[in-house]
Structure formats: C-alpha cells, structure tokens
C-alpha cells in the first residue's frame, strides 16, 4: 500500500531511541524526510545516519530538550528550512518516573507537566503555520495506555497524559478546517530502553527480568510484548493519505491489553 508519504516532511521529537526512533524509521521507510530530536547529540546523530543509510532519505538531527521552548522552536525551524515545510509532527518525550501519589512532589509535578504536556503545546504552536500551509497536516502524539487505564505507580503519566488527550481532541476540531488531523497513539508494553528502566524497578522489588516479562506477556491477549515497529507502523499509516477521514482518535497499540469495550 502506498501511503502517499514520499517527499513529505516530518518532525519526530525524542527520537534517538525507542518509540520515537521507530516512528522516524517508519516514516523514512515511506519516503518522508525527517527531522529528529533528543538531548544527547552523539546518539541522535548516529540514529539519523542509520535511518538515512537504510532508507536513502534525508534525516536531520537537531539536538535539544523538549523542556526548552527555544529548542522546540529550533527543531521546527530547522525542519522547515531544510525541507521547505513541515507536513507531519509526531510529539514524544521521555517517560515519567515510577511514583505513587504519596511519593510525588510539587517540583516533579511541574517538571513532568512541562515535559509531558507543555512540550506538546509548544511544538504544535511552532509547527502550526507550516501544517496549515501543508493543507494535509498531521499531528500524532505518542502517549501511553495509561490514558485508557491507569498503570500502577505511574501517577504522573496517569494524570498528565490525559491533558494531552483533551488538547488533541480540541485541536482536531479547531484545525480540521485547515486540513490538519490530530491523533494520540497509546502504546502498551513495548520493548525499549524506557521499558527496561521499569523492569529494573521491578527487579529491585525482588523479581527476575524473565518473571516480569512473562507476567506482562500472560496479561496481553496476543501473548507478547510489543516491538517499537508495531507502533511505528500505525504512526506512518495515520500520517498517510488513507487516514485522511480519521480525526481526533486515541488508538491503543497494546495487543488487546486494555479490557474495556470502547
């Protein structure tokens, strides 16, 4: 299936590893030019070179922190300058730490509000003139299955990501008339460095790595942990022409883990 993405330009935030990188890879595989960001320039540049060599499209690394509004503006400006516009914005950031409500602090609430929510507000604001010009813009937010069902001891993710979902639905209504569609993808367990940190936390509670993975796999109807490319494939499809009548959705990618009907 040709998704119609050849020659389009995309920005993927927090994309030197894990789910962000898988999104960048899936878009590049469809012929998109991609600008990617992350804080550590060396890993970011290596990821950009790897994707570029694999798919033969331009991949521009722009080092920066999603906490910093100037870095976000620089990322979007660089993509617009290099590619002549921005058609697709994929928002993403590092995941909040393991905390219960009683372990949470005001300082951390503010920090993770900036990283999880304000980074989306700021990147959409910076990309909007370009997305409007595109006429078929896409905004796709990488959130978490925590927006469908809270995850034990991830209080910042459980609470703050719902603000992203509310924002996205609002944007889908405000920006639809400009040809821009807006979605959230809600990953369940996917094997990345981010998930490894949660596994290490469980190991500190006395479990073995295999026990953690086995118990998660048993709870997932398809019987396995996700691969980053499982999410990347959906993001590329949502960015493509066939998805032009989908707008304002939040789609779980969790092997059926979420048990609710809707």
The stretch near ligand NAP (CB under 6 A) out of 12-20, 99-107, 163-171, 235-243 is 12-20
In the range 134-193, which residues lie near ligand NAP by CB under 6 A? 142, 144-145, 187, 189-190, 192-193
Tell me how far, at minimum, the Cβ of 15 lies from ligand NAP, in Å: 6
Q: Which one of residues 5, 24, 35, 38 is an interface residue with ligand NAP (CB under 6 A)?
A: 38
In the range 103-122, which residues lie near ligand NAP by CB under 6 A? 115
In the range 239-258, which residues lie near ligand NAP by CB under 6 A? none
CB-CB contact of 261 with 221 (8 Å):
no
Binding letters toward ligand NAP, positions 189-228, x by CB under 6 A = xx-xxxx---------------------------------
- Does the protein bind ligand NAP through residue 37 (CB under 6 A)? yes
- Does the protein bind ligand NAP through residue 66 (CB under 6 A)? yes
Q: Which of 229, 249, 250 has the alpha carbon at shortest distance from 186? A: 250
Q: Which one of residues 95, 137, 240, 252 is an interface residue with ligand NAP (CB under 6 A)?
A: 95
Residues near ligand NAP (CB under 6 A), total: 30
The stretch near ligand NAP (CB under 6 A) out of 50-58, 60-68, 127-135, 210-218 is 60-68
Q: Which one of residues 11, 12, 16, 112 is an interface residue with ligand NAP (CB under 6 A)?
A: 16
The stretch near ligand NAP (CB under 6 A) out of 54-62, 91-99, 164-172, 232-240 is 91-99
Q: Tell me whether residue 224 is exposed, middle or buried, using C-beta atoms within 10 angstroms of its C-beta: 0 to 12, 13 to 18, 19 or more.
A: middle
- Does the protein bind ligand NAP through residue 23 (CB under 6 A)? no
Tell me how far, at minimum, the Cβ of 176 lies from ligand NAP, in Å: 26
Q: Which of 174, 112, 164 has the alpha carbon at shortest distance from 140? A: 164
Q: What is the contact surface with ligand NAP in residues (CB under 6 A)? A: 14-20, 37-40, 43, 65-67, 92-95, 115, 142, 144-145, 187, 189-190, 192-195
């Amino acid at each position: 299936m040709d998704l119609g993405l050849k020659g389009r330009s995309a920005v993927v935030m927090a994309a030197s590893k894990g789910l962000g990188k898988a999104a960048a890879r899936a878009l590049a595989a469809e012929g998109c030019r991609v600008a990617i960001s992350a804080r550590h320039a060396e890993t970011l540049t290596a990821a950009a070179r790897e994707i570029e060599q694999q798919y033969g499209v331009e991949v521009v690394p722009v080092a920066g922190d999603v906490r910093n509004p100037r870095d976000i503006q620089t990322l979007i400006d660089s993509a617009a300058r290099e590619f002549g516009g921005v058609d697709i914005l994929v928002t993403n950031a590092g995941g909040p730490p393991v905390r219960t409500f009683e372990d949470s602090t005001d300082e951390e609430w503010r920090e993770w509000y900036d990283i999880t929510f304000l980074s989306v507000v700021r990147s959409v604001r910076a990309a909007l003139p370009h997305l409007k010009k595109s006429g078929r813009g896409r905004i796709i937010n990488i959130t978490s299955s925590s927006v469908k069902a809270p995850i034990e001891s991830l209080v910042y993710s459980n609470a703050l990501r719902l603000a992203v979902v509310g924002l996205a639905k609002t944007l889908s209504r405000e920006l639809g008339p400009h040809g821009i569609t807006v979605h959230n993808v809600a990953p369940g367990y996917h094997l990345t460095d981010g998930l490894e940190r949660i596994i290490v936390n469980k190991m500190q509670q006395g479990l073995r790595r295999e026990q953690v993975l086995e118990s998660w796999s048993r709870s997932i109807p398809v019987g396995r942990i996700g691969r980053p490319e499982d999410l990347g494939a959906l993001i590329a499809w949502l960015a493509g022409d066939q998805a032009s009548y989908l707008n304002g959705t939040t789609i779980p990618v969790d092997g059926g883990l979420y048990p609710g009907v809707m």
